[in-house]
Amino acid sequence: MDDNFFALDISSGWVILVVLLAAGLSILLYTRKNIPWHQNINILLGFLRFSALLLLGILLLNPILRLSVNEEDEPLFVIVVDNSESIAMRMGEQELSDVIVSVNGIRVNLDDYQVTTYNLSGRTDSLNFNGSSSNLSAIFNSFESIYDGKNIGGVLFLSDGIFNEGLSPAYLNYRYPIYTVGLGDTIPPRDISLRDVRHNRVAYQGNKFPVTLKIEQRGFANEMVNVSVKKSGTTLASKNVRLVNQITDVDFELEAKEAGLMHLTISIPQNEGESTYENNRKDIFIEVIEGKEKVLVVSSVPHPDIKAIRQTLHETGNYETALYIPGITKLPEEKNYDVIVEYTPYRQLIKHSFKSTGKWIILGSRSKIDQMNKALPYLKISTRSSQKDLVRPTINPTFRKFELNDDLIERFSQYPPTEVYFGDYLLTGATDILLYQKVGSVETSKPLMFFYDDGSEKSAITIGTGIWQWKLQESAAHGDARLFNELVLKTVQFLSIRTNKKRFTATPRHNVYREGDRIFIDTQVYNEIFERSYGNRISLSITSEAGETRNYELVDSPLNSTFNIGTLKQGIYRYRATVVNENEQLTDRGEFLVEALQIEALDLTANHNLLKEISYKSNGTYFHYSEIDALSEALNNTNFQSIIRTRESYFPLISSLWIIVAICTFLFSEWFLRKYLGMY
């Protein structure tokens, strides 16, 4: 029920003054003895004048009318069901069915309240137990925005208390009582499970790579099990392992034979008496690439900078570096590289026939300026003398070719200075500065490191030597050289990416998806002069590992050029996209991976103590699922209180039309009567 209350925000002293003035003026006007009408008419005219003056005076005080509305906010009741697979793995179908029936019964019995049901993913009208992960805190955090300002009378939470994502819900603060129901079994199950499987995400074709896994057993001590690794049903390796300890480590060394995504299945045969077999298998996916990227370092002289760069590239394991110093090392036989690092190349011209996607040129203080200006048309340095500047790097916040870790870039200010040319710098063409020169505390606009990319040529230019000191200083100050390593690696990665000259591309937004994620494949079509083209009918076919194919079609437009595939089961999927553009058929191919979480089966021991802690903290009550009838009765006997909320609205009377109309009506009536009765 809503109650309305009106109040006028105005000082009583001013109201009394207005009343007295209106009354005084009215009495003064209508107290004369010689009047051509009856005395009662005189009183009426005085009242009309008094009313008009009173309203006009009040209006001049600019009063505000306050409307107070009391609203009764009836309590809401929320039911949250943990729908994770771990519950179904420990409880029988009949028990789960009974729980669902009981929850529906509670929902019906609470018909006096607005009842809403959720699972861990969000609002739902159906109850099942097929969730692939358990993030118990996320759903309660979402209530803060969903029910902001609402009156939650209570929450019923049914769960086994196991969470494998997010924070513990025991750390949250609750403004409503939570009645928890413990599902599952708190007794550790008799089980064998594959827990932690460690492997490289990337392996190189022809190389061997390790796979390490942990086997956990409960109730199967000293049992012998066979662990196998299979690819497409073919066994690549297997071992017989005796489970002496609770956790046993097993190591495999496998060979990467074919390039592409490799799907491996690690499994242990089912043993009689296990509580579940879902955790006896693990699927892992490894990307096998044809070989490491090749980087050639060419220098006129040995220098510590070369060692620092090569060491960073070597530590990643993804690069193979070669060094060529004329007169010191042999000329490499390989002529094609992904990136060439030219160190002080213009001190003396090094002529070679090496080819690469991009170049990193590091200019030393002894490089010849005139030769360098001729060789680099986009950079001109005008030196004023033989003097050198000692400068530190400072980041360009508008640089967009790649991003450096925001938490690390402050380390640039701690780097020791490097020696550069003293003079004026002029950049032209498609250049983008990453680092500026900082002289003392003055940040200049002179480049220290910049990139050039005109679509056909890519280069990175570092002006000055001594960057090995950056790595040394950073390691000494922070125990690692993450910023230096990131700078080197992202520079080489950018230079090694080949420019895409294809007129048609179909690219998944991610190379790796998780089960349940929506999959999108973006397409781009260009005409013969590489202008974006639309209105093309694009065909897409996606084939699973089992050979099942799905076909899709799309007519692209500026507003939509993306295939929305939906969700797919775990596995490796290969796709082929085709389009006819300007009477030419264009094709693009690729693959992507869908991974299963496989985390629900790792821990099947219910944690009812967590549920008890939640109820205690929120002034609720804990019940075991066998006591669900007692819970229903307790909820029926609980009177969840409504909240009275007062909502106020303000209306300035000066903006009200009715008061203006009333004043005009009183004045017009007075004038009409006086005129009608013969008084002008």
Q: Does any domain span residue 600?
A: no
**Are 511 and 576 in the same domain?**
yes
**Are 154 and 110 in the same domain?**
yes
Residue 580 scores a pLDDT above 80: yes
Cα separation of 116 and 340, whole Å?
63
- Give the residue from 272, 289, 306 where a domain finishes: 289
- Give the residue from 464, 496, 528 where a domain finishes: 496
SS (H, E, C) 280-324: HEEEEEEEEECCCEEEEEEECCCCHHHHHHHHHHHHHCCEEEEEE
**Are 378 and 395 in the same domain?**
yes
What is the average per-residue pLDDT within 34-60? 78
Residue 130 scores a pLDDT above 90: no
- Structure confidence at residue 675 as a pLDDT band (50, 70, 90): confident
**For residue 303, how far is the Cα from the chain centroid?**
43
What is the average per-residue pLDDT within 533-557? 93
Cα separation of 51 and 642, whole Å?
45
**Are 514 and 579 in the same domain?**
yes
Cα separation of 143 and 449, whole Å?
49
Share of the chain above pLDDT 90, in %: 31
**Are 383 and 444 in the same domain?**
yes
Q: Does any domain span residue 236?
A: yes
Residue 655 scores a pLDDT above 80: no
Q: Which residue has the higher pLDDT, 612 or 61?
A: 612
For the stretch 333-380, pLDDT in tens is 888 899 999 988 765 545 667 888 899 999 876 677 777 888 888 888
Q: Does any domain span residue 408?
A: yes
pLDDT of residue 347: 54
Q: Which residue has the higher pLDDT, 117 or 646?
A: 117
CATH code of the domain covering residue 133: 3.40.50.410
Mean pLDDT across the chain, nearest whole number? 85
pLDDT of residue 323: 92
**Are 103 and 21 in the same domain?**
no
pLDDT of residue 679: 57
**Are 101 and 229 in the same domain?**
no
Taking alpha carbons only, the member of 456, 419, 597, 435 closest to residue 517 is: 597
**Are 465 and 590 in the same domain?**
no
**Are 587 and 533 in the same domain?**
yes
Residue 7 scores a pLDDT above 60: no
**Are 343 and 452 in the same domain?**
yes
Supply 577's token pair: 């996209």
What is the average per-residue pLDDT within 235-253? 92
**Are 323 and 388 in the same domain?**
yes
- The whole domain housing 471 covers 293-496
- Structure confidence at residue 511 as a pLDDT band (50, 70, 90): confident
Share of the chain above pLDDT 70, in %: 95
| Other CB atoms within 10 Å distance of the CB of residue 553 | 9
Supply 416's token pair: 């020791």
Residue 39 scores a pLDDT above 70: yes
CATH code of the domain covering residue 374: 3.40.50
**Are 376 and 401 in the same domain?**
yes
The pTM of this model reads 0.53
What is the average per-residue pLDDT within 133-162? 90
Residue 494 scores a pLDDT above 90: no
Q: Does any domain span residue 178?
A: yes
pLDDT of residue 32: 67
pLDDT of residue 348: 52
In the chain, how many domains are there?
Answer: 5
pLDDT of residue 660: 80
The dihedrals phi and psi of 564, each to the nearest 5 degrees, come to: -100, 100
Residue environment code for 148-176, b if the CB has 16+ CB neighbours within 10 A, otherwise e = eeebbbbbbbbbbbbbbebeebbebebeb
pLDDT of residue 613: 94
